[in-house]
Amino acid sequence: MAGVRGRRRICIGAAVAAAAVACGAAAACVRLIRRADLHVRLATLFGPACVFTVEDGVGNPVRMLSVGRSVQSGTYLGERRFELPFEYYRAFERAVCTQDAVHDVLMLGGGACAYPRHALIAHADLRMDVVELDPSIIDLARRYFYLDELEERAGERLSLVAGDALAYLATTNKAYDVIINDLFAQSEAVAAFAEDEGLELVKAHLRENGIYLVNAVASPPDYRRLAELGAALERRFARVEMVECTDEDFSTDENYLFICRGVNR
């Protein structure tokens, strides 16, 4: 997220191995794997990827995408597949809904496209460009996270770019009402977007009165990087608000959303 692509430090492989040892039987391990609906892809840009299913706090199944040692995305299944399972996704949606008119949204770091899947179905007049670096993650999103259905239903309102977020901003001439930063390399935020180059590119592509949303993760008691990011944003935006959006059901890490308004040109 962002512990979920906020990055949730869940290692499903270790959990399965531990359960197998505790049960003391191969059959028990097989049952556990089937219940978890486990799928593994060994080769992605940032390490092995696992798709598996857990339950939220009230017993609803949630399919997760984990890359390396951190969860990057999630979805409810079946009829609830367009709902938002994580609080930081819901924080994105609340922030977007505070704007008077939102037509063009850029999401940097698509993962399994959980928020785009909700937003494009919920808002018929919304267009969204999604930049995801890893083609393997895009493929997993189509196979297990309903991205194929979203592409069919949204049509031209969804543009999915397989590439680097910084390079995309450096070459596109588009302007956006909202830019969402959910970029992580494994569990670490992408440093370029806390520095001059990345932030200046973001500002250049925000429309007047546009907002920049940044998903950030902290692992208590260390809040140093969170404070540094907040300070960098405050130097470049007139108003910066930070709201907590942690999911205790899924992680011991804490998620925060920075909402940045008032571009200082």
Residue by residue, pLDDT tens for the chain (265 residues) are 444 444 444 444 544 444 444 444 444 444 444 566 899 988 898 889 999 999 988 999 999 998 877 788 999 999 999 999 999 999 999 999 999 899 999 999 999 999 999 999 999 999 999 999 999 999 999 999 999 999 999 999 999 999 999 999 999 999 999 999 999 754 456 788 988 889 999 999 999 999 999 999 888 888 998 999 999 999 999 999 999 998 877 777 889 999 999 875 5
Of 80, 112, 138, the residue that ends a domain is: 80
Phi and psi at 83, nearest 5°, equal -85, 165
Q: Identify the pLDDT of residue 42.
A: 80
70 and 93 together in one domain: no
| Closest CA relative to residue 41, chosen from 8, 20, 80, 72 | 72
Strand duo 104-108 + 70-76: pairing: unpaired
Residue 99 half-sphere exposure toward CB, CA atoms < 13 A: 26
What is the C-alpha R_g of the chain?
A: 18
In a domain, 246, yes or no: yes
Element (H, E) at 42: none
Q: How far is CA 57 from CA 3, 4, 19, 136, in A?
A: 16, 15, 21, 30
In a domain, 104, yes or no: yes
In a domain, 242, yes or no: yes
Whether 147 contacts 138, CB under 8 Å: yes
> Which are the contacts of 41, defined by CB distance < 8 A and separation ≥ 6?
48, 49, 50, 136, 140
Q: Identify the pLDDT of residue 189.
A: 60
Q: Identify the pLDDT of residue 152.
A: 98
Q: Tokens standing for 212?
A: 């920049």
What residues make up the domain containing 155?
87-263
pTM score, two decimals?
0.86
In a domain, 168, yes or no: yes
In a domain, 256, yes or no: yes
Q: Which amino acid is it at 264?
A: N
CA–CA gap between residue 51 and residue 87 (Å, rounded): 20
CA–CA gap between residue 185 and residue 2 (Å, rounded): 10
Q: Which amino acid is it at 20?
A: A
Q: Tokens standing for 12?
A: 């499903």
In a domain, 7, yes or no: no
Q: Tokens standing for 95?
A: 């922030």
Q: Identify the pLDDT of residue 151.
A: 98
Of 80, 108, 132, the residue that ends a domain is: 80
174 and 201 together in one domain: yes
Q: Tokens standing for 71?
A: 């969860």
> Which are the contacts of 121, defined by CB distance < 8 A and separation ≥ 6?
82, 150, 153, 154
Q: Identify the pLDDT of residue 185.
A: 58
Q: Identify the pLDDT of residue 164.
A: 94
Of 56, 80, 104, the residue that ends a domain is: 80
